[in-house]
């Protein structure tokens, strides 16, 4: 059975790293954040969000993934999606002093913020297919 290394910290050599078998279902809790950015501050917001995101994915309990999306119809509207191991570790993360300090930089650049906690109910992914082999004969006779 193949093993997948999964780390809760950016430093994979950390003792907090975990090893899961390939058939282990990783926990999936998603946090969706909606940001309305102050006029003319979008580039500054994106730069601040990138710094925040780099810090966030290194935190215990983060699954190491977060994404920022910009609304095509409203250029001041952004959505970010983070993934976490479970609700308890995410709640502890949000209560931390560092979270307040880190998120304050983003709050200064926004006029509105909303957040939703979502639990993954179902997922379908396309599995990669093995390459097909073509046998070529060098026999001419």
If you search the block for the tokens 């599995």, which residue do you land on?
127
CB-based contact 3:22 (threshold 8 Å): yes
Per-residue pLDDT at 108: 96
Give the span between the Cα atoms of 90 and 7, in whole angstroms: 16
CA geometry: angle at 137 spanning 132 and 139, to 5°? 175
Residue 130 DSSP SS3 = coil
Model confidence over 83-102: pLDDT tens digits?
999 899 999 999 999 999 99
Residue 10's pLDDT is what? Answer: 37
- Bridge partners of residue 95, in order along the sequence: none
Higher pLDDT, 16 or 118: 118
Mean pLDDT for the chain?
81
User: 72 falls in which pLDDT band (50, 70, 90)?
Assistant: very high
DSSP state of 133: P
Which residues does 75 contact at the CB level (< 8 Å), separation at least 6?
Answer: 42
Domain boundaries in the chain? Answer: 26-119
Structure tokens at 82: 């983070």
Provide the pLDDT for residue 128: 79
Residues 119-130, mean pLDDT to the nearest whole number = 82
pLDDT at 16: 41
CATH number of 26-119: 3.30.70.100
């Amino acid at each position: 059975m193949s093993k997948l290394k999964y780390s809760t910290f950016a430093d994979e050599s950390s003792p907090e790293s975990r090893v899961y078998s390939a058939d282990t279902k990783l926990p999936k809790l998603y946090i969706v954040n909606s940001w309305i950015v102050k006029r003319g501050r979008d580039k500054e917001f994106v730069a601040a969000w990138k710094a925040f995101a780099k810090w966030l994915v290194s935190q215990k309990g983060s699954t190491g993934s977060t994404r920022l999306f910009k609304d095509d119809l409203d250029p001041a509207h952004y959505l970010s999606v983070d993934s976490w191991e479970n609700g308890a570790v995410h709640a502890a993360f949000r209560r931390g002093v560092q979270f307040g300090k880190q998120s304050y930089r983003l709050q200064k650049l926004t006029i509105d913020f909303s957040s939703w906690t979502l639990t993954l109910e179902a997922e379908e992914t396309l599995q990669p297919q093995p390459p097909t082999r073509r046998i070529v004969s060098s026999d001419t006779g």
